[in-house]
Amino acid sequence: MSKQFDVVVIGGGPGGYIAAIRAAQLGFNVACIDEWKNAKGGPALGGTCTNTGCIPSKALLQSSEHYEQAGHHFADHGIEVKGLSLDLGKMIGRKDTVVKQNNDGVLYLFKKNKITFFHGRGSFAAAKDGVYEIRVAGAAEEVISGKHIIVATGSNARTLAGAPFDEETILSNDGALRMAVVPAKLGLIGSGVIGLEMGSVWRRLGAEVTVLEGLSTFLGAVDQQIAKEAHKAFVKQGLKIELGVKVGEIKPSKKGVAVAYTNAKGEALTLEVDKLIISIGRVANTIGLAPEAVGLVLDERGAIVVDGECKTNLPNIWAIGDVVRGPMLAHKAEEEGVAVAERIAGQHGHVNFNTIPWVIYTNPEIAWVGQTEEELKAAGRAYKAGTFPFLANGRARALGDTTGMVKMLADAATDEILGVHIVGPMASELIAECVVAMEFRASSEDIARICHAHPSLSEATKEAALAVDKRTLNF
């Protein structure tokens, strides 16, 4: 007789492990299957986010930023650093420790919440008598069954035809996070979120970085006033960003790899680099899941088809996170996980897609929530805009980091905040206030009338709100 569970979660990333915890909190008997292996072959819970995504990238962004500050900016504060050197092995080792702490943290949470963990690959075997049988292939082979199944199998890096990842010279996010030596020349294809974050890490550590981007607009999904400001800052730092290119053949060269491309002017060029990171988006992952065994429907891009509530075409099978439509973000996956567990319990779980924040952890950081000015224009919505530069913020001056601005967009008639866009110091933290405001459908006047601590970067948000009504106090 197979082990039976109320809820079986396939995938232990931020979507899956959070869904498992919430379901256990709600009183269900829960199992979670995850196949990720650490270097020793043991479990490494937390998915892409913990192992080769959010967590390790932020660890390296922090370390490399310290190096950049010590090398180039401490002197502005009267701090002389002599004999500065880089121990890349130690930096990567620290990142690995941070990852392991997070892996172990999820394992601890599973024990605390009495979730049964299976280390291996889960695949659909059959649907029988109102339950689904799931085959687990790992250290031990077994079939378990669940009344409800939550699929949270995540995504993989998209490959470019003719340039498969070898993680030595042609790297996905995985190899990009564990280079043993700083490459003299690093190429990146795609100036999206990974391109900018990974490009920043390796540039700070000493690589000459060139990013080739297919679109002629930089960060097309970002409010363009903010994107332009960020572009200026990245170029000033030394990131070479070529927009509007068409990438051709990619082949090994004496040095490493040669990328043939046509630039925006139509000139045929070759980029010779030691290493190449390809960061052109990610694709939903259902490898080995055997969705056909039960008739689970995927779309033409391989994502599991779900409705607004994460219900698939089959009763009691749910899917969340990167394997379904919507932004590929850890916090979106988590929110869907919580909402699905609550729906299984008969509650009214809810995810507000209009208030999901985005953050790009470069320097300056870029963060936003809601609609961009371009989107409002396209929708024909009447709006008011207010901006406030960090140059006029006392805390930013004290920090020595005055790049960027806060921009607030509000409805012309009701003053409801429709979007907030930030480029500048600690944008990742500042955006939280704006998410709360939008979730409560606040007006720009609400933010303008709230007391913000002085001196703080958050005063720039208040001033941007005042700017919507053309009455900034400090600019």
Residues with Cβ < 8 Å from 396, sequence gap 6 or more? Answer: 390, 402, 424, 425, 457, 460
Q: Write the DSSP symbol of residue 69.
A: I
Question: Does the protein bind ligand FAD through residue 121 (CB under 6 A)?
Answer: yes
Q: What is the CA radius of gyration of the chain?
A: 24
Residue 281: contacted member of ligand FAD, ligand NAI, none (CB under 5 to 8 Å, by partner type): ligand NAI
Can you give the binding site for ligand NAI, defined by CB under 6 A? 160, 189-195, 197, 212-215, 247, 279-282, 327-329, 359-361
Cβ 359 to ligand NAI, closest distance in Å? Answer: 5
Question: Does the protein bind ligand FAD through residue 34 (CB under 6 A)?
Answer: yes
Cα(87)–Cα(67) distance, integer angstroms: 10
Residues with Cβ < 8 Å from 298, sequence gap 6 or more? Answer: 284, 286, 291, 304, 305
Cβ 7 to ligand NAI, closest distance in Å? Answer: 26
How many chain residues touch ligand FAD (CB under 6 A)?
36
Question: Does the protein bind ligand FAD through residue 277 (CB under 6 A)?
Answer: no
User: 7 near 344, Cβ under 8 Å?
Assistant: yes
Which residue lies nearer to ligand NAI by CB, 202 or 361? 361
Cα(110)–Cα(25) distance, integer angstroms: 11
Near ligand FAD by CB under 6 A: residue from 325, 331, 381, 384: 331
Q: How buried is residue 162: exposed, middle or buried, by Cβ count under 10 Å (0-12/13-18/19+)? A: exposed
Question: Does the protein bind ligand FAD through residue 54 (CB under 6 A)?
Answer: yes
**Residue numbers 72-111 binding ligand FAD by CB under 6 A:** none
Question: Does the protein bind ligand FAD through residue 333 (CB under 6 A)?
Answer: yes
Count of residues for the chain? 475
Question: Does the protein bind ligand FAD through residue 192 (CB under 6 A)?
Answer: no
Residue 47: contacted member of ligand FAD, ligand NAI, none (CB under 5 to 8 Å, by partner type): ligand FAD
SS3 70: helix
Secondary structure element (H or E) that encloses residue 142, with its range? strand 141-151
SS3 398: helix
Question: Does the protein bind ligand FAD through residue 153 (CB under 6 A)?
Answer: yes
SS3 326: coil
Question: Does the protein bind ligand FAD through residue 14 (CB under 6 A)?
Answer: yes
Asked about 454 being catalytic, the answer comes back as yes
**Residue numbers 364-423 binding ligand FAD by CB under 6 A:** none
Near ligand FAD by CB under 6 A: residue from 10, 20, 201, 406: 10
- The DSSP-derived string for 266-306 is --EEEEEESEEEE-S-EEE--TT--GGGTT--B-TTSPBP-
Question: Does the protein bind ligand FAD through residue 16 (CB under 6 A)?
Answer: yes
Cβ 152 to ligand FAD, closest distance in Å? Answer: 5
Question: Does the protein bind ligand FAD through residue 144 (CB under 6 A)?
Answer: no
User: 36 near 12, Cβ under 8 Å?
Assistant: yes
Identity of the amino acid at 229: E
Cβ 116 to ligand NAI, closest distance in Å? Answer: 30
Cβ 284 to ligand NAI, closest distance in Å? Answer: 12
**Beta pairing, strands 170-171 & 275-278:** parallel
**Residue numbers 415-454 binding ligand FAD by CB under 6 A:** none
Cα(178)–Cα(277) distance, integer angstroms: 12
Residue 189: contacted member of ligand FAD, ligand NAI, none (CB under 5 to 8 Å, by partner type): ligand NAI
Question: Does the protein bind ligand FAD through residue 256 (CB under 6 A)?
Answer: no
Among 264, 224, 230, residue whose Cα is nearest residue 246: 264
Which residue lies nearer to ligand FAD by CB, 10 or 460? 10
Which residue lies nearer to ligand NAI by CB, 25 or 428? 428
Question: Does the protein bind ligand FAD through residue 467 (CB under 6 A)?
Answer: no
Read off the tokens for 330.
Answer: 């850890």
User: 5 near 144, Cβ under 8 Å?
Assistant: yes
The catalytic residue positions are: 454
Q: Which residues bind ligand FAD (CB under 6 A)?
A: 10-16, 33-36, 47-49, 53-54, 57, 121-123, 152-155, 173, 194, 285, 288-289, 321-322, 328-331, 333
